Structures are given as C-alpha cells and as structure tokens.
Amino acid sequence: MIVHSRVPVPAVATLLFVVVLFIVWTNFPTPSPSDLCPSPEDKVHVLLLSSWRSGSSFLGQVFNQHPSVFYLMEPAWHVWTWLRRPSARSLRMAVRDLMHRVFHCDLGVMDSYMPPHYNTSHLFMWSRSQALCSAPLCPLSQGRQATWNKDCETRCSSISMNLAGKVCRTYSHVVLKEVRFFELESLYPLLQDPTLDLRILHLVRDPRAVYRSRMKSVNALEYDSSFVLETQKSLKPDDQKLVMQEVCRSHIRIHKTATEKAPAFLKGRYKLVRYEDIVEDPLTAIKDIYDFTGLEMTETLEKWIYRITHGKGMGSAFQITERSATDVSQAWRKSLAFTEVQKVQEVCRSAMSLLGYRLVHSEDEQKLLDLDLTQDEGLNFSWSSSNRTFNRQPLF
C-alpha cells in the first residue's frame, strides 16, 4: 500500500528559505573581531588625570556618554585596596603597569587584584560604565542611557572579563579616569609606547571648592587620604589641610613638568582643564576637550550636557545627576567659614597662582558672588600642536 503524505505549502516555503539562507551564509565569510576593531593607528587612549572631588566623575561621564568610548572609572582603586601599602609613591609603578594593559584592553591584568571566580561586576564602579551596561555586552537598550541605569547591576553582573576585553578592542577610544597619580614621570613609559596614542587631560578645580567637597565626604575619603599622607594612623580633622597641600603640590608638579620641562614625546599630548571653565560654558569647553581627544560632538550629547549642567539643586556626592553646575561651583563661597578659606589659601597659594585662582582677602570678597575669582592672563593650558602626529620613542 502506498501512503501519500502532504506537506503544507507554507512549510515548503520555509524550508526553501532556510536552505537559501544557509547557502548564502556559507559563501560569505563571517567577519572576525579584528575586522570590527579600529586599526592601532586610529585608536586613541585618554587618561583623565585629576584629584578627588574635583569634578572628575562628571568629566568622566562626558566621555562615558560618547558611543565611541570604552570608559572605566579609577582602575587603580584595585591596586590601592588590594596591596594596602600606605604610600601613593610605593604603588605608582603598579598602577602605571595596570593602566598600560587596560589601555590595550587586556583586562586580564585585573586577575592580581580580584577574588576567585571574578567578573566585570568586581570592577570598581563597574555599573557606571556605559560600555559595560550596553550592547553588545549587556543589551539593556538600543542606545546609551542618559543617566546611570541601576538595572545594569542586576541584569549585567555576570559578564566575563575576557569578553569585556574583546569588546573593548572594538572601540576607537579607551578612557580611564584616575585620581591616584601625583606626578607625570611614572607615566613616561606609556607616553613612549609606540602602540599607545595617549592624551593626558589634567582636570583641576579651585582648592577651596575641593576642600569644601572633601569635608562633606571626609569619611569616604579617609582611606585614600592616609595613602596621600603616607600614614596608617587615624586622621585628625586638621589633617585635611595637609591632604590639600599634597594635592596642590601634585598639580604644580604635573603642570610644570608638562609645560616647562616636558620631553619631546609629551608635546601636544597634555591639556589642562579647569572645572570652573567647563561650568561657565559647558558646550564650548567640552567641544574643545573632544577636539583634543579626537571625538566628535553629537546632538544627543549636546542635549545631555545641557541637561546635566542646568538642573536644580546641588545633587549629591559621588552621583552624577542633573544639577546646577554654577551653584555647585560657587557653593564654597556660601558655606565655608572665612577662617577655613584662609587656611586652604595658605597651603595652596602657589598652586592657585599657577592655575589662575584669585585669593579672597575678606569675608565680604568671599560672599560677593559677582566677583570673578578665575583669571586667564599668562596661563599655559596645553602644548600648542598643529597636528596630532607624535614622534614616539622606543619603550625600552
């Protein structure tokens, strides 16, 4: 007996479509990850170099929001907390070597500073990185979030470091924000590496504003402050002045090295930025920063920059939210006692003079908000460079 079976026409059509798709797929090679990666000549590496409470988290987010940027916040935090040597100087080479490999997207370097069975959720402030919280690593949405998406912490917490490193290589820019360097000399091997196109963005802020912000977060910063002062003893309230003194001295060292006695390989690769100048005209200042680092402004970013700097209120420490950037910048003038202002000016006088911050000589001057305390005359914010082709020296 012959059994006749009928195959529905839709099923036949589906089968033919699959066969055709298979033939097309097998005749066209799948692009490898290297095909998607920018060439080494086109990849740019940016070190956002600053100190605590200077607006570095905000400026880091300016990079983090850009779709061409793979951004990580303070990878050196792992070195300081894991090795636990009470001295920034004793750890600077370990920090430098870690950053060197992270710039190359070799996140395996974190193995030395991680617990067993780690992943990207063990990175410091990992969920603040848009690259780790967006496609292809974590497709929470089609585009980057305008602000931090807390869902990332629950839905993207199992990404392997190896996969994150591979995705990192597909970005044209790798940006690292750091507050744990106090001089430039230890960064020279990175600047001399022919495989790195490193730009150093040195962010500073009025020391009086930094001091006011530090005093609001003194407990959170105590561990780092002990490293700055190279002590394991509990810090006293007056020790904050000593921390400010060391921070101000570091800004002097960094800026003078970069502008007065810089080696040839640093020329054109350093830029000083004042937080107050960003606040005064955010869009112009950030376009200038993007130009220095080879990034293009987009309409979406322009809207985000305006919104994040023209909000209401003061916001909160360690959170990047919509706030009035002008009010935040001037807050120290309203809240600090003049005696405290005098102490900060005493220990940071040289740095303030170098970076263009005017002293106030009375409480009336301090409270007079219309009095501009920044000056531009004679300041050298960066090396002038007509092109971005740098003569690099051998690494060794």
Per-residue pLDDT of the chain (396 residues; tens, 9 = 90+): 444 444 454 444 444 433 333 333 334 333 333 344 666 668 999 999 999 999 999 999 999 999 999 999 999 999 988 887 667 888 889 999 999 999 999 999 999 899 999 999 999 999 889 999 988 998 765 555 544 567 888 888 899 999 999 999 999 999 999 999 999 999 999 999 999 999 999 999 999 999 999 998 888 888 888 888 888 777 887 888 999 999 999 999 999 999 998 899 999 999 999 999 999 999 999 999 999 999 999 999 999 999 988 877 544 554 555 557 788 889 999 999 999 999 999 999 999 999 999 999 999 999 999 999 998 765 666 543 333 333 333 222
For 36-367, CATH number out of 3.30.1370.10, 3.90.180.10, 3.40.50.300, 3.40.190.10 equals 3.40.50.300
> Distance (Å, rounded) from C-alpha 125 to C-alpha 122?
8
Cβ neighbours around 335 below 10 Å, total: 11
In the prediction, which pLDDT does 256 show?
95
Contact 204, 110 (CB under 8 A): no
In the prediction, which pLDDT does 1 show?
46
The token duo for 238 is 């007056």
Angle CA(121)–CA(122)–CA(126) in degrees, nearest 5? Answer: 55
Domain positions in the chain are 36-367
In the prediction, which pLDDT does 329 show?
87
> CA separation (Å) from 385 to 80, 145, 198, 264?
35, 35, 15, 12
> Distance (Å, rounded) from C-alpha 132 to C-alpha 218?
30
Cβ neighbours around 299 below 10 Å, total: 7
Which residues sit opposite 49 in a β-bridge?
178, 202
In the prediction, which pLDDT does 379 show?
63
In the prediction, which pLDDT does 81 show?
86
